[in-house]
Amino acid sequence: MSTCIFCDIVEGKIPSEIAHEDHLAVAFHDVSPKAPTHVLVVPREHLEDLDAAQPGHESLLGHLILVAKEIATKEGLADGYRVVVNCGSDGGQTVDHLHVHLLGGRPLSWPPG
């Protein structure tokens, strides 16, 4: 039995607002958006975090970033956007299934908190 909410979203067991789906990845709108556009791109494969990624995941990781870029284009983020991967507790990761945040639609400050 799955105990991972993002696996449940990937499998359609938990509803979400899907932005993109393909054989490797699913993207959906964040339930608690931190910007006008806030989409999460996740691999279908359960990987706990970026630390769990191996050299064999190179093309999957690249795919997640390219999907984020394609969604940014679809969402009309012509003035720019941010792509973020939080890893581990110091990185602010709260869901233990690797995900790429796409944030945009307003100016984003730097550095983040």
Binding positions for ligand 5GP, rule: CB under 6 A: 5, 14, 16, 28, 30-32, 40, 86, 92-95
**CB under 5 to 8 A by kind: which of ligand 5GP, Zn ion, none does 93 bind?**
ligand 5GP
99 is catalytic: yes
CA angle 33, 35, 40 (to 5 degrees): 55
Cis peptide leading into residue 111 (ω within 30°): yes
**CB under 5 to 8 A by kind: which of ligand 5GP, Zn ion, none does 18 bind?**
none
> Catalytic residues, which ones?
99
